[in-house]
Amino acid sequence: MAFLQNQYVCLACGYNLINYYPKSCPFCGVSNENFITAEECANKYKIIKDKVSNEVFRLYSYPSLGLEHSTYCINIKSKNIWIDCPSSFTKNLDPMDKILFTHNHFLGASNLYRSYYTAFIWIHKKDSSHYLVKNYPIDRKFKYNFKLSEISAFHIDGHTPGFTFYIFKTNLFICDYLILKGKNFILNPYGPAFSTRIGAEKLKNIVKNYVIKKVCGFNYVMDYNEWNEGFLNLLNNI
């Protein structure tokens, strides 16, 4: 698999390094002793596909690959659109048409999926200039909220300057803006606290106008009522 050459994966966090091999991971900081090649990663980890609904599926690496975010595959009119991307590459998935990112921290193996499946990568312009993105090909750097087929995108800033969440029908895709800590939520602490709090208020005001049944987070899928109760409790106690 020649196209996997010159790419490495950090086992501690799942970050993909393209065409360089630093002494430490630029995301989590661990030594390069924790890196494996993208080909080794593809051979060691498989991608699990769990059903969320008839049109939505959760994708993730097995065994668990560091801090990897779940990816969500949305099937619309026989085309697959991904929200975020797995850290490990596999040829055993149905082709995807587009990969829409929530933010810049984990672009995973999106360059490999783009090359193999001819998928188009979208990310908010504010996050496209981040140093973690510099070696990734980006096809569209969007600036505003948009609607793609039945997917609505909402930029709320906060955790990262370009953080964007998505709604498809009755499904909310929020990635790691909210993190489950035990039985309670916290706002993602890896970013400016004040801006993240403002972004959470934007999120609250947007989703109340939609009928949401499922919330798809970076390592969980929850019924909306349960999620919203925890979310509102968090906001009321900050």
pLDDT digits (tens, 9 = 90+) for 121-171: 999 999 999 999 999 999 999 999 999 999 999 999 999 999 999 999 999
Torsion of CA 160, 162, 168, 170, to 10 degrees: 40
Q: List, edge to edge, every strand of the sheet that includes 98-100.
A: 46-51, 56-62, 71-76, 79-83, 98-100, 120-124, 140-142
Q: What is the pLDDT of residue 103?
A: 98
Instruction: Scan for tokens 């509102």, then name that residue.
Output: 232
Q: What is the pLDDT of residue 1?
A: 57
Token duo for residue 182: 């035990």
Domain 2-236 has CATH 2.40.50.100: no
Say whether 199 sits in a helix, a strand or coil: helix
At 80, the pLDDT band (50, 70, 90 cuts) reads very high
Strands 7-10 and 35-37: antiparallel
Q: What is the pLDDT of residue 2?
A: 56
Q: What is the pTM of this model?
A: 0.96
Say whether 169 sits in a helix, a strand or coil: coil
- What secondary structure letter does DSSP report for 70? P
For 163-196, write each residue's pLDDT tens digit: 999 999 999 999 999 999 888 999 999 999 999 9
Asked if 46 and 90 touch (Cβ cutoff 8 Å), the reply is yes
Q: What is the mean pLDDT of residues 21-28?
A: 96
Cis link prior to 63 (omega < 30° from 0)? yes
For 88-134, write each residue's pLDDT tens digit: 999 999 999 999 999 999 899 999 999 999 999 999 999 999 999 99
From CA 157, how far away is CA 40, in angstroms rounded? 35
For 44-55, write each residue's pLDDT tens digit: 999 999 999 999
Q: What is the pLDDT of residue 3?
A: 63
Contacts of 232 (CB under 8 A, 6+ apart): 204
Contacts of 102 (CB under 8 A, 6+ apart): 83, 84, 163, 164, 165, 166, 173, 174, 175, 176, 177
Percent of the chain with pLDDT over 90: 93
Burial class of residue 16 (count of CB atoms within 10 Å of its CB; 0-12, 13-18, 19+): buried
Say whether 123 sits in a helix, a strand or coil: strand
Q: How many Å separate Cα 165 from the centre of its chain?
A: 10
